[in-house]
Amino acid sequence: MDGFFGGLITSKTRIRILMRLFLNPNQHAYLREMAGEFSVSPSQVRDELQHLNDAGLLEREKSGRQINYRANQKHPLYPELHSMVQKALGMDRILDSIIERLGNLEQAWLLDDYAEGKDTGLIDLLLVGNIDQGNLTDLVAKTERYIGRKIRTLVLHPDEHLTCILSDRSRLLLWEQKQE
């Protein structure tokens, strides 16, 4: 993660904030939550949040005594930063491989920690469609070696209901088959 942005951004805390907030822009986080997650002092996170907020890259929303931050999707650099974060985490490679080789894929969902922008090393993917299980097993093993992260998949047939699986989990729709 740091290697991708390391030459461009020198603050590891700033990189982590960008990764956390720009992977799934619908998620928000507050200062102490990020400080605990990144194992750094709240003052380090506060300084970086202030820089990113001053640049217009973040939106702030007060909720009681805490201030929640999220990616500013209206900022002109948002699409590029979102794409860079996906590439840094290997999401682009995962999607390209999945779409090309798995058969009739209808949807691909990112679940749990990564859907919240937390790089924990375990990527949970929900795939909906008529999936070739042999290709999936091979593809997951190769992709894990390539991106240096573990991938756990759950495959559902298109007729199965997603609501029971998605109702209480963080989620991000990565890809959906275009309707013709």
The per-residue pLDDT for 98 is 67
> Which top CATH class is 90-176?
alpha beta
Q: Which amino acid is at 138?
A: D
For residues 49 and 76, give the distance between their C-alpha atoms in angstroms, rounded to a whole number.
18
Residue 170: pLDDT band with limits 50, 70, 90: confident
Q: Is 94 in contact with 123 (CB distance < 8 Å)?
A: yes
Please report, rounded to a whole number, the percentage of residues in the chain having pLDDT higher than 90: 32
167: CB partners within 8 A, 6+ apart: none
> Which top CATH class is 2-83?
mainly alpha
Q: With a cut of 50, say whether residue 3 has pLDDT above it.
A: no
Q: Is 143 in contact with 90 (CB distance < 8 Å)?
A: yes
Give per-residue pLDDT as tens, 6-54.
444 667 888 888 888 988 788 889 999 999 988 899 999 999 999 999 9
Domain residue limits, the chain: 2-83, 90-176
For residues 75 and 52, give the distance between their C-alpha atoms in angstroms, rounded to a whole number.
11
For residues 75 and 96, give the distance between their C-alpha atoms in angstroms, rounded to a whole number.
27
Residues 128-133, mean pLDDT to the nearest whole number: 88
